[in-house]
Amino acid sequence: MIHMEIIKEDQKRTLNPTSSLTVYEYDMNDPAIGGGIALLRGRYPDNGFVVNEKTKELVYVLSGEGKLLTPDKGIIISVGDMILLDSGEIYAWEGNMSLHMANAPKFDPQQHKLTAPPQS
């Protein structure tokens, strides 16, 4: 049986993990998938990197431009680009852009960790 769920714009949750990032989270009841819109004005995280220990992220750049930073490089991204971040990947965002983020399984802040880049 198909189970359709619609989360209206006025039902979204607003999160401000840092002064440079606002996330509008649309809480689905399905633990297998989730999504939201992120508005970035600067760098996230402010220092270092983050890692999703269990969640994959499929990210689409809605507006603006910036960089996806990894410990070894910065990749320029802009409107229309799509990025797949696998669980366990270390990254950061930098720029002025809005991003649509789909997460599988549903995003869990407990598994989203700040980290330093790996030592070589």
28 part of a folded domain: yes
Residue pair 28/50 in contact by the 8 Å Cβ criterion? no
- 21 domain residue, yes or no: yes
Strand partners, 111: none
The per-residue pLDDT for 1 is 65
> What CATH number is attached to the domain comprising 56?
2.60.120.10
Does some domain include residue 3?
no
pLDDT of residue 109: 83
In the chain, the number of structural domains is 1
Domain assignment of residue 59, given as a range:
9-115
**64 found inside a domain:** yes
Average pLDDT per block of 10 residues along the chain, 120 residues long: 87 95 94 95 96 96 98 97 97 98 91 77
DSSP class of 9: G
What is the β-pairing status of strands 21-26 and 34-44? antiparallel
pLDDT score at 108 = 86
What's the pTM?
0.91
CB 65 within 8 A of CB 52: no
Helix (H, G, I), strand (E, B) or coil at 21: strand
